[in-house]
């Protein structure tokens, strides 16, 4: 007898059980995973500072030949700023130190693409120059790690996976956290946006993505991913709102940065400083 039933059926298919239901149910909550990850990063930062003899400047791997070397020496002393090129955290410190004076940032040699990443600096600028400002910048990195780990854990749990994969986000962000760059906060906000989008809470998702782009423009790739998923689900207007809305804060701040000083006074490139090669910083 020939089976004439179709290959697919209109009846709902039974849900597949999670990869490890026991492990998932026994795992900590996403909030707990996020808080633990942030605290672990805070301990790592404390260990780095303690290993340097409690020299807080070490959190940006400073260098007198890097961007803002003079400002670092003025705030921390010459002994704390070796004769070398600095890592990416030093320009971030300078942006926070001079915020919101864009012209002063350019005078210190900061390139425009770094000034565009102004979120972390803007929310740290209230702290006094020197150790307090450095600590606040580093603390925002720990907050970003907590957001990334917690949001990834939430996504995993909602899709039947072990939420402890959220610790993987924390592990990936350890190095940028201990040298105080913008990645942890940017991608923490980006993961938060993905978690909101997965719950179809598009307003908070756009807000999180927009803030992520202000922290670091590459985090907007996560907004693009969310928009593509919405397109795949045949929701073009929602996709447009998420994609375009997320980019507005970055575009607005970037336009302000470029309008703040004459084009001839802007630094349009900054390459290879951390490799101890000559900087390619100059007028645009």
Which tens digits make up the pLDDT trace of 144-168? 999 999 999 999 999 999 999 999 9
Choose the weakest-confidence range: 166-170, 179-183, 199-203, 260-264: 260-264
What confidence tier does 209 reach under pLDDT thresholds 50, 70, 90?
A: very high
pLDDT value at residue 239 = 95
Task: Please give the structure tokens belonging to residue 231.
Answer: 């397109």
Work out the average pLDDT over 173-198. Answer: 96
Q: What is the pTM of this model?
A: 0.85
Cα diameter, the chain:
90
pLDDT value at residue 274 = 40
Give 6-34 pLDDT, tens digit per residue: 434 445 545 555 555 555 667 899 999 99
- Contact yes or no for 147/191 (Cβ under 8 A): yes
The rounded distance, in Å, linking the Cα atoms of 271 and 226 is 31
């Amino acid at each position: 007898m020939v089976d004439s039933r179709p290959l697919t059926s209109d009846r709902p298919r039974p849900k597949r059980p999670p990869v490890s239901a026991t492990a998932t149910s026994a795992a900590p909550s996403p909030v707990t995973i996020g808080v633990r990850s942030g605290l672990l990063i805070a301990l790592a930062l404390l260990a780095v500072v303690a290993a340097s003899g409690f020299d807080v400047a070490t959190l940006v791997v400073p260098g007198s030949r890097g961007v803002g070397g003079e400002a670092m020496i003025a705030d921390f002393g010459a002994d704390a700023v070796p004769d070398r090129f600095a890592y990416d955290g030093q320009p971030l410190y300078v942006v926070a130190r001079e915020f919101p004076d864009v012209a002063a940032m350019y005078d210190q040699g900061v390139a425009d693409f770094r000034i565009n990443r102004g979120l972390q600096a803007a929310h740290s600028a209230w702290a006094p120059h020197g150790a307090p400002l450095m600590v606040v910048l580093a603390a925002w990195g720990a907050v970003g790690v907590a957001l990334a780990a917690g949001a990834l854990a939430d996504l995993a749990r909602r899709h039947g996976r072990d939420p402890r994969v959220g610790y993987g986000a924390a592990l990936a962000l350890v190095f940028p956290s201990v040298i105080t760059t913008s990645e942890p906060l940017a991608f923490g906000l980006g993961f938060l946006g993905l978690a909101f989008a997965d719950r179809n809470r598009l307003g908070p998702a756009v807000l999180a993505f927009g803030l992520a782009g202000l922290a670091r423009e590459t985090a907007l790739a996560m907004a693009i991913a969310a928009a593509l998923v919405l397109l795949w689900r045949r929701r073009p207007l929602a996709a447009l709102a998420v994609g375009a809305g997320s980019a507005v804060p970055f575009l607005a701040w970037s336009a302000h940065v470029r309008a703040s000083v004459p084009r001839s006074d802007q630094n349009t490139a900054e390459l290879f400083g951390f490799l101890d090669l000559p900087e390619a910083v100059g007028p645009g």
